[in-house]
């Protein structure tokens, strides 16, 4: 039985808006919005859809965070890994503020990168206070990879306050978990 994951994200009227025409009839669990520290937080419901019979099942809630400074810019979904490129990496890191950011630097052809990718996704679902990013170190992102000091793949860079504070090279899952815990607690 194959399952697909769909995210339901509906537009949310501003708190000052008296009109609730677009989502007035939706249950409150589908979409909520709040403003915290200048950031807009959108809560949406994830649904699993069975490809075979089309049945839907609620999966989990996720939080879509968009910086108020970059309302048209990139977004991060908490509980998921966000793919970045040379143009979106620094804006997302800066928007994370004082949150811990973990960057998985990988390539498409790297075997160990493919092995650790599902475990990295599991970490993003476990640590909801951490931003998880992935950077494909291909030709397009070569300048950023060099700027970040990439020597081998996979390499995990852990950032705090937009600065690299830890690095884990290789597909060493336990070392990665230890490094994330250390930075989160500091």
Q: Tell me the catalytic residues.
A: 110, 113
Task: Report residue 179: phi and psi, to 5°.
Answer: -65, -40
Do 69 and 99 meet the contact criterion of CB atoms below 8 Å apart?
A: no
Terminal alpha carbon distance of the chain: 43
Exposed e or buried b per residue across 14-26, where buried means at least 16 C-beta atoms within 10 angstroms of its C-beta: eeeeeeeeeeeee
């Amino acid at each position: 039985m194959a399952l697909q994951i769909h995210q339901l994200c509906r537009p949310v009227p501003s708190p000052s808006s008296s009109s609730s025409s677009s989502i007035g009839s939706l249950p409150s669990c589908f979409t909520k919005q709040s403003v915290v520290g200048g950031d807009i937080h959108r809560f949406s419901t994830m649904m699993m859809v069975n490809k075979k019979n089309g049945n839907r099942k609620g999966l989990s809630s996720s939080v879509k965070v968009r910086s108020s400074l970059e309302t048209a810019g990139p977004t991060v979904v908490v509980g998921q890994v966000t793919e970045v490129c040379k143009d979106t990496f620094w804006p997302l890191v800066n928007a994370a503020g004082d949150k811990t950011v973990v960057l998985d630097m990988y390539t498409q052809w790297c075997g160990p990168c493919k092995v650790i990718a599902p475990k990295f996704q599991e970490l993003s679902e476990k640590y909801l206070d951490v931003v998880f990013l992935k950077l494909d170190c291909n030709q397009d992102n070569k300048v950023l990879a060099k700027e970040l000091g990439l020597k081998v793949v996979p390499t995990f860079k852990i950032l705090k306050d937009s600065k690299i504070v830890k690095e884990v090279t290789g597909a060493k899952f336990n070392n990665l978990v230890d490094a994330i815990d250390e930075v989160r607690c500091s």
